[in-house]
Structure 1
Amino acid sequence: WDTSAQPRRHRREVWESLQKTGAVSLSPQPPLPRTKTADKEKSANKQEFNFEKARLEVHKFGITGYKKQEQRIWEQERAIMLGAKPPKKEHVNYKTYQEKMKEKKKAKDEDRGKEHKGDSLKKKKKDQKERKAKRKKLVPSIWPAGQVGKFRDGTLILQSRDIKKIKSSKVIK
Structure 2
Amino acid sequence: MNVSRTEIPDVMVIEPKVFGDDRGFFYESFNEARFAEATGVSVEFVQDNHSKSARNVLRGLHYQLKQPQGKLVRVVQGEVFDVAVDIRKSSPTFGKWVGLILSAENKKQLWIPAGFAHGFLVLSDTAEFLYKTTDYYSPESERCLLWNDESIGIQWPSTAVPLLSAKDAVGSSLLVADVYE
Q: TM-score, normalised by structure 1?
A: 0.14
Q: Which has the higher strand share?
A: 2
More relative contact order, 1 or 2 (CA 8 Å, 6+ apart): 2
Higher CA-based Rg? 1
